[in-house]
Amino acid sequence: MDEQEIPRWQVRFFTIWGVQALSILGSMLVQFALIWWLTRQTGSATVLAIATLVGMLPGIVIGPFAGALVDRWNRRMIMIVADGIVALATVVIAYLFAVGMAQVWHVYAIMFIRATAGGFHWPAMQASTSLMVPEKHLSRVAGMNQALHGIINIISPPLGALLLGLLPMQGILAIDVSTAVLAILPLLIFHIPQPQGRSDRKFSLWGDVKEGLRYVWGWPGLLAVMVMATIVNFLFNPAFSLMPILVTRHFGGQAMELGWIESAWGIGVVVGGLTLGVWGGFRRRVWTSLSGLLGMGLGTLCIGLSPATAFWLALSATFFVGFMNPITNGPLIAILQAKVAPDMQGRIFTVIQSAATATSPLSMVIAGPVADWLGVRVWYIVAGTVCILMAIVAAFVPIIVHLEDNHSKYAQVVPAGAVDRGQAGGSL
């Protein structure tokens, strides 16, 4: 980033970031409302499981291809189009609810469309961040992002429940349409820097995807981190999806106790994200991330080992796991934003995300039977133990410790001026 841009990067970035936060809140309200409608209409766990898979599959299947296109196309236009598609699709489903024609498959369709648009929007925003934010602030911004999502996760369920009591379904959907349109406005005003050097090459979607895969394969440290992320997701997703069973069967709690423990997680994420945002982490970012992973493992193990009479202990441990979550994830995002060439970031982010979540559907399928057979606490004990061991072992693996120093053997040197930082359109 040019020195002359430093004093004004905050205005551009945080204006875009702020309205995107409102759009995320609107999306979460819609997600809550649609899931509640499915629950009320069908009462079927299978229907809810299908809805979850519909929301996950686009990111897993199309992720690498979306990343390749993000690296080729104008990232500002990708975000504008993605927000526009979300708004248009939401208008359609709102109309169906208004005239009483909405059906379950309509909800599946809208979830799939929204997830697909998000599969393009997320890597476009992540890859653009490194071109708008000075490198020394990337960890802080990543921490703020984690805190933001934690805050939204805390406030969206009760706010969604309140709005369901005050507005018809189409009214809640209209809120999301408004926030999506609002998110587009700064993108029409502010210029987002674009990486150069790819537009003059012949376009091949599959070739670009393979290039992204080779990039990850050629960076042993990143490949190791991706494998670790896949294992963590495989164990943690079912563990925390089984939290209602842990609260009711083991602790003998009710909805109130479940609400407390979910709030403890969300508050922990917010506090952890804010802490990282202020602190910035250790000089070597990977040590920050491994410390967070160790903390997540200890907290999760504590949840699994908490006696039935010590709900307060599980509550405290859940807060601690939430706190350590952004400490783990934020620095890794900052490393990729700082070290991966701008014209590769879209693909790298989506390849890692797809790989890390690819086994989640399988783990969700086997979680219930295994919990019924061995007990729900086993998931937490195994997940926590594996996390602790991975963090300790990784601290002695050179390719992981020196992740920031070593790059992919397929990385290309980005010459000075390879990023378009023009201020067209009267933007900052």
* Interval 134-165: pLDDT, tens: 777 777 777 777 777 778 877 777 787 788 78
Tell me how far apart the alpha carbons of residues 175 and 166 are, in angstroms, rounded to a whole number. Answer: 13
Reply yes or no on whether the pLDDT at 388 is more than 90: yes
351: tokens are: 């390849």
Statement to judge: residues 342 and 269 lie in one domain? yes
- 375-396 mean pLDDT: 92
Q: Is 200 a member of any domain? A: no
Q: Is 421 a member of any domain? A: no
Higher per-residue pLDDT: 301 or 47: 301
| Band of residue 419 on the pLDDT scale cut at 50, 70, 90 | very low
User: How confident is the model at residue 289, as a pLDDT?
Assistant: 93
CATH number at residue 101: 1.20.1250.20
Q: DSSP of 35-88, one letter per residue? A: HHHHHHHH--HHHHHHHHHHHHHHHHHTHHHHHHHHHHS-HHHHHHHHHHHHHH
Statement to judge: residues 3 and 53 lie in one domain? yes
Q: Which domain holds residue 396?
A: 215-409
Statement to judge: residues 224 and 302 lie in one domain? yes
Q: Residue 402 — φ and ψ, nearest 5°?
A: -100, 30
Tell me how far apart the alpha carbons of residues 75 and 1 are, in angstroms, rounded to a whole number. Answer: 17
Contacts of 210 (CB under 8 A, 6+ apart): none
Reply yes or no on whether the pLDDT at 229 is more than 60: yes
Statement to judge: residues 155 and 229 lie in one domain? no
Reply yes or no on whether the pLDDT at 413 is more than 70: no
SS3 call for 152: helix
Q: Is 245 a member of any domain? A: yes
Statement to judge: residues 171 and 273 lie in one domain? no
Statement to judge: residues 118 and 224 lie in one domain? no
Most confident of 161-170, 210-219, 223-232, 314-323: 314-323
Statement to judge: residues 188 and 246 lie in one domain? no
Statement to judge: residues 319 and 188 lie in one domain? no
Statement to judge: residues 237 and 371 lie in one domain? yes
| Band of residue 417 on the pLDDT scale cut at 50, 70, 90 | very low
Q: At what angle do helices 360-374 and 220-241 cross, to 10 degrees?
A: 50
| Band of residue 266 on the pLDDT scale cut at 50, 70, 90 | confident
Q: Is 201 a member of any domain? A: no
User: How confident is the model at residue 381, as a pLDDT?
Assistant: 93
Statement to judge: residues 287 and 389 lie in one domain? yes
Q: Is 326 a member of any domain? A: yes
Statement to judge: residues 257 and 184 lie in one domain? no
Domain final position from 162, 193, 224: 193
Q: Is 94 a member of any domain? A: yes
Q: Where are the alpha helices (DSSP H) in 306-344?
A: 311-339
Statement to judge: residues 220 and 188 lie in one domain? no
Domain final position from 159, 193, 227: 193
User: How confident is the model at residue 156, as a pLDDT?
Assistant: 76
Angle at 49 between CA 154 and CA 123, to 5 degrees: 60
Average pLDDT of the chain?
80
**Total domains, the chain:** 2
CA-based radius of gyration for the chain: 22
Domain final position from 127, 158, 193: 193
Say if residues 353 and 59 touch (Cβ distance below 8 Å): yes
Q: How many CB atoms lie within 10 A of CB 288?
A: 24
Of 101-115, 128-142, 281-295, the range with the lowest mean pLDDT is 128-142
Q: Is 419 a member of any domain? A: no
418: tokens are: 């390879």
Q: Is 57 a member of any domain? A: yes
Q: Can you tell me which residue has the tokens 């590769």?
A: 344
Of 4-18, 254-268, 395-409, the range with the lowest mean pLDDT is 4-18
Q: pTM for the full model?
A: 0.66
Determine the straight-line distance between the first and last CA of the chain, rounded to whole angstroms.
Answer: 14
Which residue in 250, 231, 238, 233 sits closest to 377, CA to CA?
Answer: 250
Tell me the pLDDT tens digit for each residue of 22-63. 888 888 888 878 877 887 787 665 676 677 778 777 877 777
